[in-house]
Amino acid sequence: MNLNELRDKAYQCAVKHGWHEEEYSNEHFLCLVISELMEAVEADRKGKHANRVNFEYYMKQRKRDDEEFMYAFKHGIKDSVEDELADACIRLLDLAGLRGYDLDSFDYEGSDTEDYSDMTFTESMFRICVYVTDNFYRDELYILLNEIFAFCRDRNIDIFWHIKQKMKYNELRPYKHGDKSY
């Protein structure tokens, strides 16, 4: 997966939808990442997981238009654990685009990550949040993405598939998603 391409796509979508009309600090954007991780916790508490099988079955029945994609996304993926983790990644990708970080220069496969297999879902999200709040600097963004990727690998979540679907969904949403201020 070319992370710089994902970075550029996430950033361009955010610009197009008005999310960079005002300047905000890294802390602003990182707080929004934390909010996505907490939404993932809430989705987990409710047992809400994406139904990829049904989503793909519906989408493959015939050529679907954008409205049908939105329908399928809202009913099979939206607000699930996987969707919220994709949102956290997209927010980090957007921040990387805003700040001009080269994401493909980091060795994701060769770097150390936490062992999430022995942690509960909430412990895992807490651990990732610690990375968010622990003296953020440029390299930390790579580490944050890497930790989310590692968690998803451990839980057999195809995060790149979910990022792709969420990016398409976001592209089809109205300016500032209709009524949000940030």
Q: What is the pLDDT of residues 74-119, one digit of tens each?
A: 999 999 999 999 999 999 999 999 999 999 988 877 778 889 999 9
Q: How far is CA 176 from the centre of its chain?
A: 17
Per-residue pLDDT band at 136 (split at 50, 70, 90): low
- The continuous run of DSSP H or E covering 36 comes out as helix 26-45
- The continuous run of DSSP H or E covering 100 comes out as none
pLDDT digits (tens, 9 = 90+) for 5-15: 999 999 999 99
* Mean pLDDT score across all residues of the chain: 93
pTM for this prediction: 0.94
Stretch 139-158: mean pLDDT? 91
Does residue 135 register a pLDDT over 70? Answer: no
- The continuous run of DSSP H or E covering 141 comes out as helix 138-154
Instruction: Answer yes or no: are the C-beta atoms of 123 and 154 closer than 8 Å.
Output: no
Per-residue pLDDT band at 137 (split at 50, 70, 90): low
Per-residue pLDDT band at 132 (split at 50, 70, 90): confident
Per-residue pLDDT band at 1 (split at 50, 70, 90): confident
Measured in degrees and rounded to the nearest 5, phi and psi for residue 21 equal -75, -25
Measured in degrees and rounded to the nearest 5, phi and psi for residue 168 equal -65, -45
Task: Collect all residues with Cβ–Cβ distance below 8 Å to 130 and sequence separation of at least 6.
Answer: none
Does residue 178 register a pLDDT over 70? Answer: yes
Return the residue matching tokens 């997209």: 90
Q: How far is CA 158 from the centre of its chain?
A: 12
The predicted pLDDT at position 7 comes to 97
Instruction: Answer yes or no: are the C-beta atoms of 108 and 66 closer than 8 Å.
Output: no
Q: Which of 8, 96, 88, 84 is nearest to 46 (CA)?
A: 84
Q: Which of 140, 160, 143 is nearest to 108 (CA)?
A: 143
Per-residue pLDDT band at 139 (split at 50, 70, 90): low
